A = this chain, B = another copy of it.
């Protein structure tokens, strides 16, 4: 193994904890180009057992990153899946070895549009090739290969993370024992493409975007990126959750002010979501990753047949949706279940009743925890994993 473990990854004047794997080989991409050399930044939690059979690959969502269970190096906030990951947790780091890699095209250390293009000595910007979910998974597979893991015990992820889970199951089914796509779909819907396009246009409309060359120009399209985040954030919640959390409550005032300040709590909340996001995310990465999601269509890769995408012997599936998720509604998960049933795959499907919307997979959702714990425990027994291996 030629893993380069760098205790501190120095970038943009900021230090953060992280591992880094330099993959010297070229990565062939769906667009026809090849990328190389390139870097995958990743985190791990727990320890790989001697049999290398207890690895869980966690796939992050659009604006996620590899910091699943430790503080984010920029914001200082706890890891994004500490509801699940940790000692004794559902993703029990005393039992499993968790791996999470920043996606290709991302902005937390893995090669993406804000990293340096060796050919020019400047940031890639829009010269970075347009990537797909399959490309993201190809890069993850290289990492898994380098870690010497023949079969992942589980691949799990929500939203775009779930798309990656599905791509793993379709493209590398012999490398996955169990697959858990949460709040996901086998293809991105017209409505979802539309919301992504609004976000991209908001970024591109910002003069500080500079045709994508903002790093070179010393600028940052933070206003456009904030608007993109605000629009997207509404889609992550449900109408009921927004009503429950905010309703028409006013922000630090007793009556409306007849102006354009944030009179309502929901306005203040959204503005906060937008302004904090730009501190940790790259605008061009947002363009590339949303595009990868738009392009995702597993059936299209197989002549329009979703069952054909799962024609090879499949891992055990646990498919989870949320009743109030209108971004990736239950109907999308049902379509997956039907396709997997058509190839006689081993599928468990749970629709969880919640008003929290799409983001429920990131929140305190006891039925989600119980479902995952049950499924993983059952799979671990089938796989013969000890409760504690140390």
Contact = CB atoms under 8 A, between A and B. Distances in A.
Contact of A260 (B245, B266, B287): B287
Q: Which of A189, A195, A237, A287 has the most CB of B within 10 A?
A: A189
B246 A198 contact: no
A230 to B, nearest CB: 5
A94 interface: no
Interface string A16-57: 000000000000001110000000000000000000000000
Contacts of A256: 295
A200 interface: yes
Query: Interface on chain A toward B: helix, strand, loop, or mixed SS?
Result: helix
A262 B206 CA distance: 18
Q: Which of A195, A200, A204, A234 has the most CB of B within 10 A?
A: A234
Interface in A317-346: 326, 329
A231 interface: yes
Interface stretch (A60-68, A151-159, A220-228): A220-228
Contact of A205 (B224, B247, B262, B267): B224
A201 B272 CA distance: 12
A248 B299 CA distance: 12
A352 interface: no
Interface residues of A, number: 58
A227 B230 contact: no
Contacts of A126: 260
A259 interface: yes
A167 to B, nearest CB: 16
B274 A201 contact: yes
A174 interface: no
A270 B326 contact: no
Contacts of A259: 130
A197 B239 contact: no
Interface of A: 30-32, 126, 129-130, 187-191, 193-195, 197-198, 200-202, 204-207, 223-224, 226-227, 230-231, 234, 237, 239, 242-243, 245-248, 256, 258-260, 262-264, 266-267, 270-271, 274, 287, 291, 294-295, 297, 300, 326, 329
User: Closest 7 interchain pairs by CB?
Assistant: A205-B223, A31-B258, A130-B258, A190-B242, A191-B239, A197-B267, A190-B266
